[in-house]
């Protein structure tokens, strides 16, 4: 396979590295909810599983996380995609942004807004933040995970449970994608093959 060489520029470097889409829920100063849509979200380990969330500056979400130290990360599914795209492309500073009807509840452990229709929600507390030229990486403790009851049903296969939620990914350009939910084999199935 012939390869081309590119500089790691913003609009190119993360292409074709699928990232799950999340809506981060924060509390505005008046206590009302704010949601923004983000994809730079992954896991790390430091004596326990944690989350790394990176956010570019100039957003209400980053300001509210800095101010409160807590937020929710709500997995975006196919039914939630229109809402996620709307919230991700309208500034949190707009007084009309949150006027759209959204079913919201509060976190079970942290006082953060949570989307009722998201099947997998992290309640996160910032443990450490790393400023990066107006942007920020938040290293977070997972204080709680709210999981749709059907996803906790281990009598169904992982493939069945995964198919039921239809998670959305983005590759850094163009369209959102639904995940191809065809099981290809279990981890370790190829350990003896070269």
In a domain, 190, yes or no: no
Mean pLDDT of 107-116: 98
In a domain, 39, yes or no: yes
Q: What is the pLDDT of residues 127-169, one digit of tens each?
A: 999 998 878 999 999 999 999 999 998 899 888 888 888 999 8
* Pairwise CA distance, residues 132 & 135, whole Å: 5
In a domain, 125, yes or no: yes
In a domain, 73, yes or no: yes
Full residue range of the structural domain in which residue 24 is found: 18-178
Q: What is the pLDDT of residues 62-72, one digit of tens each?
A: 999 999 999 99
CATH of residue 89: 2.30.110.10
In a domain, 112, yes or no: yes
pLDDT confidence band for 52 (50 / 70 / 90): very high
pLDDT surpasses 80 at 47? yes
With beta carbons less than 8 A apart as the criterion, state whether 36 and 59 touch.
yes
In a domain, 53, yes or no: yes
Question: In the prediction, which pLDDT does 17 show?
Answer: 78
How high does pLDDT run on average in the chain?
88
In a domain, 5, yes or no: no
Q: What is the pLDDT of residues 73-106, one digit of tens each?
A: 999 999 999 999 888 877 766 777 777 788 999 9
Q: pTM score, two decimals?
A: 0.90
In a domain, 11, yes or no: no
Q: How far is CA 173 from CA 67, 73, 104, in A?
A: 31, 22, 29
Domain count of the chain?
1
């Amino acid at each position: 396979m012939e390869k081309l060489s590119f500089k790691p520029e913003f609009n190119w470097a993360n292409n074709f590295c699928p990232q799950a889409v999340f809506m981060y829920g924060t509390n505005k100063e008046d206590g009302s909810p704010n949601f923004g849509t983000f994809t730079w979200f992954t896991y790390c380990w430091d004596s326990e599983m944690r989350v790394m969330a990176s956010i570019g500056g100039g957003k209400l979400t980053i300001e509210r996380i800095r101010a409160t130290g807590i937020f929710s990360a709500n997995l975006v599914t196919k039914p939630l995609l229109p809402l996620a795209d709307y919230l991700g492309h309208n500034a949190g500073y707009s007084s009309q942004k949150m006027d759209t009807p959204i079913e919201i509840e509060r976190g079970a452990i942290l006082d953060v807004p949570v989307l009722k229709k998201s099947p997998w929600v992290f309640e996160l507390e910032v443990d450490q933040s790393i400023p990066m030229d107006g942007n920020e990486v938040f290293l977070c403790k997972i204080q709680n995970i709210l999981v749709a009851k059907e996803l906790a049903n281990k009598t169904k296969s992982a493939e069945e449970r995964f198919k039921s939620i239809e998670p959305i990914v983005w590759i850094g350009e163009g369209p959102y994608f639904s995940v191809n939910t065809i099981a290809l084999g279990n981890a370790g199935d190829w350990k003896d093959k070269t």
